Amino acid sequence: MISRVRRFRDHSKIQQIDMYTRGALYACPWLFVVFEGLALLGLAAGPDRRGLGLGAALLVVAIVQAATGVGLLRRALGRYLGQETVLRARMAVSFVLLAVALCLIALISTRGSKELGQGVSTMLMGIAMAPLGALCLIVRKRVYWALCAAGSLVFPVPFALVGLSFPALVGLVFGALFIVGWVQLIARVSGWMLSIMWEVDGAREVQARLAVAEERLRFSRDMHDVLGRNLAAIALKSELAVQLARRGSDAAVDQMAEAQRIAQESQRELREVVRGYREADLHTELAGARGILAAAGIECRIDARAADDLSPAVQSTLAWVVREATTNVLRHSDAGRCALRLRSAEGRAVLTVENDGVRVGSGGGSGSGNGSGSGLAGLRERLAALGGTLAYEHGGNGTFLLTARVGSAPPEGDVVADRHGGGECPSPALSPFPGGKPPAPQGTLSPAASATSEGTGA
């Protein structure tokens, strides 16, 4: 039992809601069987035992119906949610059991005691749950009501054969229509809710993929606009210089100098484009985090009053931490609350991002560590360039805490790298990156459009 509870907690929230809704639907027929079965046992212990044999037979039919109805409802739900399932044989068996139960109830109503007749009539709601619930899930609502309206006219026939009065038969028709509506309310609404939840979840994933594709298109467009015309001009100038050189003209040198100038200009423009993609604004990222978490139904609290006291390089690096942490909260947790706090004291800035949505089993339990995902690894490289550190910790109450520490002012080497537009540092010895080159950017410009992140726990 404990292992099943743990497996339930390992699933996402939408999977948990799916399992809960299905479980409630499958358990509904059993509730009537159990309670009315206990009532039959109570009558069996009393002095009036008329119709107890028929009541026991009805109880057996109800148990078989409830046992086979779970599989029928599961297949019908799958059909409603777009899966290919076969229902004919199970549906036929379920309606046959319903017909047998009706005949038994009709006999009990005339041969058994009044209390027994009332009890087995209530059991009919549980017996009808599986066939009618499956039917309303696989056909249109108007078809369902047309079939059930016709069935409600046939429903009183066994009772008429045993001599039930006409007013009682009319009451049975209205009772049958009530059961039909009640079953539709339970089964159809459950399937409708599940379909909407899974559709919204799929739309959220599609939106994230479209955002990533949009960023890629924007990057390719910028690269084309910057390099396309200049590369064509360089090719033309080089071809002209070759022709002039073959003729022995001194103008070839001028053309090559012009091609060199265009190449240098292209390099400068390319660095500006790349720097625009690599740099991030801390205030913009905090506002974006608040907006995107709120849109996902996550309460977000932000305390970043110390942001203005930090250098631009530190702000940019912490902005990447906010971006990646927000992405991980959305993609790898089931958080209901998230808190971002930025403190600056004794020349160091400390950014903490905490959420309460750790999925059991996804992060290795409680404890602490340094993170092993590619997203967190990229953040650690950025922070290390400024002499900072990154760590995470799983709380025992299902919380995940990400902590980034960095100096309030960047090292001198980082200023050199920044001054050259984030490209290759002229002096590798002064560069904080191996070989004078900065690490490739992790993530994308928008938390919702982040590339696949492997961050643990949050």
| pLDDT, tens digit, 9 for 90 and up, residues 63-111 | 888 888 888 888 888 888 887 777 778 888 888 888 888 888 888 777 6
Q: Distance between CA atoms of 439 and 382, rounded to whole angstroms?
A: 8
Of the candidates 151, 176, 204, which is a domain's last residue? 204
Number of domains in the chain: 2
Question: Which pLDDT score is estimated for 339?
Answer: 92
Does one domain contain both 184 and 294? no
Average pLDDT over residues 49-55: 66
Three-state secondary-structure class, residue 186: helix
Q: Is residue 122's pLDDT more than 60? A: yes
Q: Is residue 319's pLDDT more than 60? A: yes
Q: Is residue 201's pLDDT more than 70? A: yes
Instruction: Name the range with the highest mean pLDDT among 35-49, 81-95, 114-128.
Output: 81-95
What are residue 300's phi and psi, to 5 degrees? -120, 125
Lowest mean pLDDT among 114-123, 411-420, 424-433: 424-433
Q: Is residue 227 part of a domain?
A: no
Q: Is residue 196's pLDDT more than 50? A: yes
Tokens 């001198």 label which residue? Answer: 412
The alpha carbon of 140 is separated from its chain's Cα centroid by a whole number of angstroms, namely: 29
Considering only CA atoms, which of 110, 122, 119, 124 is closest in space to residue 50? 110
Which amino acid is present at 88?
R
Q: Give the predicted TM-score (pTM) of the model.
A: 0.49
Three-state secondary-structure class, residue 368: strand
Does one domain contain both 287 and 175? no
What are residue 430's phi and psi, to 5 degrees? -90, -10
Q: Is residue 46 part of a domain?
A: yes
Query: Among the residues of 333-458, which ranges form H helices?
Result: 374-385, 412-419
Q: Is residue 28 part of a domain?
A: yes
Q: Is residue 258 part of a domain?
A: no
Which residues form the domain of 160?
2-204
Q: What is the pLDDT of residues 130-185, one digit of tens each?
A: 888 888 888 888 888 888 888 888 888 887 887 777 887 888 888 888 888 888 88
Of the candidates 204, 219, 241, which is a domain's last residue? 204
Q: Is residue 15 part of a domain?
A: yes
Average pLDDT over residues 259-269: 86
Q: Distance between CA atoms of 116 and 227, rounded to whole angstroms?
A: 87
CATH number at residue 439: 3.30.565.10
Which amino acid is present at 68?
T
Question: Which pLDDT score is estimated for 340?
Answer: 93
Q: Does 431 or 386 have the greater pLDDT score?
A: 386
Q: Is residue 457 part of a domain?
A: no
Does one domain contain both 285 and 173? no
What are the CA-CA distances from residue 327 to residues 123, 149, 289, 440, 442 (Å)?
51, 52, 9, 18, 11
Q: Is residue 215 part of a domain?
A: no
Q: Is residue 405 part of a domain?
A: yes
Of the candidates 176, 204, 232, which is a domain's last residue? 204
What are the CA-CA distances from residue 114 to residues 61, 98, 250, 284 (Å)?
21, 22, 119, 74
Beta-carbon contacts of 42 under 8 Å, excluding residues fewer than 6 positions away, are none
Does one domain contain both 200 and 292? no
Considering only CA atoms, which of 203, 173, 198, 242 is closest in space to residue 82? 198
